[in-house]
Amino acid sequence: MAFSVFGILAVIIEALRPLLSFFLIWLVIDLIATALTLRQRRFAHARARQWAIRAGLVFAVGAFLAGPWLTQANFADFIGLVDWLLLALMALAVGFIGFILTLPVVSLIRS
């Protein structure tokens, strides 16, 4: 079976299509929160970074636990090192994205 980058992206887009409106609304909220906190010179202060890191960790753990379920697999199907490595890297990427997306809002709330 041959895989292509465009085929993989098409599957990801179809999987995330129900959440697309949520992501767009969150992006608008992030842009507004970033503009407000940059204007008030309190973007990414220490307390906000701590809370955003915690949120990123929650996202990463959630992605690690939900990753196999989203692909209709279970942890018993992970037999190779590559499987576990890709699951861990996916969870780290989701955690980093969670950190980036929560930092502006947390900077606005936790001042």
CB atoms within 10 A of CB 2: 4
Q: How many residues does the chain have?
A: 111
End-to-end CA separation in angstroms for the chain: 53
pLDDT tens column, 7-27? 878 877 887 888 889 889 998
What's this model's pTM, rounded to 2 decimal places? 0.76
Which of residues 108 and 99 earns the better pLDDT score? Answer: 99
Confidence (pLDDT) at 4: 80
